Structure 1
Amino acid sequence: MFGQFKPVAFEPYGRRRSRWAVPRWLVLLLGGIAIGAGAVVYVQERHLPPRLSADASAQLRTALEQAEADRLRLKNDLADTAKRLASAVAERKALADELVTSRASAERLHEDVASLVEALPPDPRGGVIEVRMARFAVKNGMLTYDVVLSRERAGGKALTGLMQLVVAGESSRSAASTVNLEPVAIAVGNHQSLRGSLRLPDGFHPRQATVQLLDRVGGRPLGMRVMPVK
């Protein structure tokens, strides 16, 4: 009985593990990686926008490049518009300055003309409107006129009316005759200068012209003066 006894190895920690067994920590690590990858795939498939294909990615890249080109073009357009706006503002300022200068020159000219009118001899006939100066000449069948009118009590509103030229002279058909020319509208404030020409009848040779100032055609006389035609 004692001759068949075999020794038994004592293993206090249980059965000895196999030399090629996988460590537990590696199993846990691989399992965690697998679970994480699965979670990522799940989130991408269920909750995130779908992934783009190669064609969609190319189209998106092309659209992005086009949008960038449009942005640069709009930026350049904005810069050009800003330059044009600055130029327009500068031009407007220059025009405003020129307008102020022109108004000042016009006021000085108006004052100079007023001074010249005051220096002219008075109308001997007087009247509501005085004929301070009148010159007439004939050129190419036209009676050219240069007339200066004035008012002593002008007030703030111009007095409107008509200037009727009555021309006396000789024609080829008769020894002497008188012609009424086309009336000219007037609006006299402190003074008014009239310059122009009116057609004469064919073959008519004027000697003198009567300046008649009326409030309307055939209306109340406002002034009159007779002057020679040179």
Structure 2
Amino acid sequence: MLAASFKPVAFNPYGSRRKPRRVPRWLVLLLIGLGAGAAGVLFVQERYLPPRLSAGETASLRASFERAESERQRLSNDLQETARQLHVALADKKALADELAGSRQSADRLRESVGALAAALPPDPRGGAVQVRAAKFNAESGSLHYDAVLSRDRGASRPLAGVLQLVVSGSRHGTTSTVKLQPVAVQVGSVESVRGALPLPEGFDPQQVTLQVLDKPDGRQLGMRVLNVK
């Protein structure tokens, strides 16, 4: 009776083994997401982005960039040199402008001095539109050197254009003769100092000069004076 109450137990030698684990679901989703992202990147790159460069194209592009950079540096150096030259030119221009202003001031002072000197000279006894206030002549090395001071009414608004005509009387090879020299263009303001030299005929010995101021060669006489050659 006691033995009948026990039931047989089956023996299973593999009963202690664990069931195989499954891959986690989150890992599967992660791998799928990575794959989809990589595929998306490749699709966008192939469809919308510029094509990828080969090694040769990359080297060519780098060489072009280096040439462009070298040219940019050269142009930058040229620009700096041009700016330096411009700075020097502007400085020279300013120096010339200052020098010109100084020369004009000196000319104005000289003109004032000549005007004061002319005012102290005796008037031309012959009068005329242009007065010959003073003149000096001397012969040297076959030329007649002249130095004359001409004046006009101080109310004159602008210089008067004319010519200075020198008629020289003297002797040549023992014979008395008169020579008309080449006319000299002049601009006569209120006071004008005229000086220069004109060639004389060979062998001519000047003794007296008739200085004429004409409105043009062989034109109307504006002033005249006769003086001896010293």
Cα 1:18–1:51 shift into 2, 3 Å: farther
Which residue does 1:146 correspond to in 2?
147
Cα 1:130–1:73 shift into 2, 3 Å: same
Following superposition of structure 1 onto structure 2, how do residues 75-154 of structure 1 map, counting pairs within 5 Å?
75-154=76-155
Following superposition of structure 1 onto structure 2, how do residues 1-230 of structure 1 map, counting pairs within 5 Å?
18-172=19-173, 174=175, 176-230=176-230
Q: How far has the Cα of 1:111 moved from its partner? A: 0.6
C-alpha separation in 2, matches of 1:34 and 1:121: 118
C-alpha separation in 1, matches of 2:111 and 2:118: 10
Q: How far has the Cα of 1:108 moved from its partner? A: 0.7
Q: How far has the Cα of 1:127 moved from its partner? A: 1.8
C-alpha separation in 1, matches of 2:117 and 2:97: 30
C-alpha separation in 1, matches of 2:218 and 2:87: 59
Flag structure 2 segments of 5+ consecutive residues without an equivalent: 1-6, 11-17
Q: How far has the Cα of 1:124 moved from its partner? A: 1.9
Once the two structures are overlaid, the 10-residue window that deviates more, 212-221 or 104-113, is 212-221
Letter matched to residue 178 of structure 1? T
- Residue 161 of structure 1 aligns to a residue in which SS? strand
Residues 159-216 of structure 1 deviation map (CA, whole Å, 9 limit, x = unaligned): 2222221211112152x22222222222211122221222222222121111122223
TM-score (norm 1): 0.84
Letter matched to residue 177 of structure 1? S
C-alpha separation in 1, matches of 2:30 and 2:217: 118
C-alpha separation in 2, matches of 1:204 and 1:74: 70
Residues 132-163 of structure 1 deviation map (CA, whole Å, 9 limit, x = unaligned): 11111111221111111111345112222222
Which residue does 1:13 correspond to in 2?
none
- Residue 88 of structure 2 aligns to a residue in which SS? helix
How many residue pairs are counted as aligned between the two chains? 219
Query: Which runs of 4 or more aligned residues in structure 1 lie more than 4 Å from their structure 2 counterparts after TM superposition?
Result: 4-7
Letter matched to residue 220 of structure 2? R
RMSD: 2.5
Which residue does 1:11 correspond to in 2?
none
C-alpha separation in 2, matches of 1:84 and 1:99: 22
Flag structure 1 segments of 5+ consecutive residues without an equivalent: 8-16
Residues 82-107 of structure 1 deviation map (CA, whole Å, 9 limit, x = unaligned): 22222222222222222222211111
